Amino acid sequence: MNAPVTIKDETAMVDIREIGVIGAGQMGSGIAHVASLAGYSIKLIDISQDQLDKAIGTIQRNMDRQVKREKISADDRDAAMTRIETGIDYSSLKDADLVIEAATENENVKRQIFETLCPALRADALIATNTSSISITRLASTTDRPHKFIGLHFMNPVPVMELVEIIRGIATDVQTFDAVKSVALAMDKTPAVSEDCPAFIVNRILLPMVNEAIYTLYEGVGSVEAIDTSMKLGAHHPMGPLALADFIGLDTCLAIMQVLYEGLADTKYRPCPLLVKYVEAGWLGRKTGRGFYDYTGDEPVPTR
């Protein structure tokens, strides 16, 4: 009788100490922020050095704010900032144990990132995507390690919001899930496990509500101010749905609604034509200074 064969599981042996974050925008900088405070060494990657410099400034200011509010100590802040390094070359991720992709919500962009990223990584490195809506299974198929690929969807703003959605693709193994869940807990986040369905849990519920608010504006039922005031005072939402859309980014809202509409083939998810028009105009919300509100003055002013 042959002796039993022991199969070495490299994923189970990964000790996550260094995390790569791809994308230094609002989400990527927030992930780097919370991961560095959790004690991980961070490699923050972006195609733009200017964006990286801006991200470091944002992280510093946000940590300074946490110190003032006594959420963290000055020593915690200083130690966390020293753990963040930046770069524009994927080769700097060669020692990463886990890489979290936080690029724009565009499937083609993400696929290109993974195709370039995989040759730069160790064979046992894990990959997570911060996608807010796209199929984890489909994105994983772009990589050379679908079993080490998972969805890790943080909420915005990352340093403030407690939740993170964890989404397994069809090939994701249990060791990858367990390792990434441990990272989320170390970052002081509460994990919610979602099936790999379009937009997962939060955005499956949230974005149709936002889209319906835009339809309410489009059809003349109420003004921007009336709609947002109604939901803040009538439903006790902390932010009106149109202000929230501006905060998320109207391009991201549209991308998620398109994923829902195409993935579920249900007309109730059809993106509002007004949302499409705003995105075509480049009115993407806070990040461009104009969306359902104009942000160029001291106070936001409704644009309709």
Out of 29, 36, 165, 194, the active site residue is: 165
The secondary structure of residue 90, as a DSSP letter, is: G
Out of 29, 130, 194, 203, the active site residue is: 203
Out of 132, 133, 194, 211, the active site residue is: 132
| Packed helices 74-82 and 26-37: angle between N→C axes, nearest 10 degrees | 110
> Measuring CA to CA, which residue among 220, 210, 161, 222 is closest to residue 187?
161
Residues in the chain: 304
Active site residue 165: yes
Tokens 């997962």, located at residue: 200
Active site residue 225: no
| Beta bridge pairs of residue 44 | 21, 86
Out of 33, 153, 194, 211, the active site residue is: 153
| Beta bridge pairs of residue 87 | 45
Active site residue 153: yes
Amino acid residing at 168: R
Contact call for residues 84 and 56 (beta carbons, < 8 A)? yes
H-only helix segments in the chain: 26-37, 49-68, 74-82, 107-117, 136-140, 174-186, 202-218, 224-234, 241-248, 250-264, 273-281
Return d(Cα 199, Cα 123) in angstroms, integer.
Answer: 29
Active site residue 211: no
Residue 2 structure tokens: 């042959």
Return d(Cα 235, Cα 113) in angstroms, integer.
Answer: 40
Return d(Cα 57, Cα 84) in angstroms, integer.
Answer: 12
Residues annotated catalytic, as ranges: 132, 153, 165, 203
